Structures are given as C-alpha cells and as structure tokens.
Amino acid sequence: MPNSEPGRLQSGTSSPADVFAALGDTTRLILVERLCHGGDQSVSQLGAGVPMSRQAVRKHLSVLEHAGLVGSTQRGREQLFSLRRERIEQARSCLDGIAQQWDSMLLRLKDHLEKEP
C-alpha cells in the first residue's frame, strides 16, 4: 500500500531508498540531466560522449527505470527513455519534509539552550 503522507515518496515498484540510490551515481545523474533537457531519447543519444558501452548505459537506465525516475516506450526498433518528473518532485518533497523536521529540531534545541538555568 503506497504511503500518502505528505513529504514522503510514494512507492510503486520502488522504495524511496531506490530513488536516492539511483541518483547517487554520477553516470545516472548525467543521464537524468540529459533527459531533463532533451525530451525522449534513445540509449545511443543518452550515451553519446559517455565513455562506456551501450550495454552499460542501458544498465544505468534500468536502475533509473526501476526507481521510477524514467519511463520507456518502444518506437519501431528503438526504445526511447523519458524523465518521470513527478518522481523527481516526490523526491524533492521528501527532502523538504526532512529539512522541515531538522529545522524544527534545531529551533527546539535553540529554545532549550537559551532558557535561563
């Protein structure tokens, strides 16, 4: 059952840890950035200028797809990948929730330290 609590990533086939793990790799961040700026792209397009094989690029895309960050469609003989922006927004919302919790804890600590003994 997906978690609908605000500030939390909703898990379909992946967990929040999968999203952040997928984004924790430099190559995958490059692929996500390329998808942000270029719309639907093939493995060849995404791998252009990246010093690795098409198979390695495809493996990185598979991790991103499992995490729900990219989707793919088949057009003829080509598989095209696109960014799932809603998943990025969910990750941002999750981080915003964590930041709010930290801010709240720091305010409580500050109030506690500023109280007269």
Digit-coded pLDDT (tens) for 75-103: 999 999 999 988 888 888 888 989 999 99
Any domain includes 106: yes
What is the reported pLDDT for 2? 41
CA distance 96 to 98: 5
Any domain includes 4: no
Residue closest to 95 by CA, chosen among 3, 1, 9: 9
CATH (domain of 63): 1.10.10.10
Any domain includes 11: no
CA distance 54 to 77: 15
CA distance 42 to 81: 6
Any domain includes 102: yes
End-to-end CA distance of the chain: 48
Residue type, 34: R
Any domain includes 84: yes
CA distance 63 to 55: 13
For the chain, 117 residues long, the average pLDDT of each consecutive 10-residue run is 44 69 93 91 92 94 95 94 90 89 91 82
Residue type, 106: L
Alpha helices in the chain (DSSP H): 16-23, 26-38, 43-47, 54-66, 85-114
Any domain includes 67: yes
Please give the structure tokens belonging to residue 51. 């010093």
Structural domain span for residue 64: 16-114
What is the reported pLDDT for 81? 97
Any domain includes 86: yes
What is the reported pLDDT for 116? 66
Any domain includes 1: no
CA distance 88 to 110: 33
Structural domain count, the chain: 1
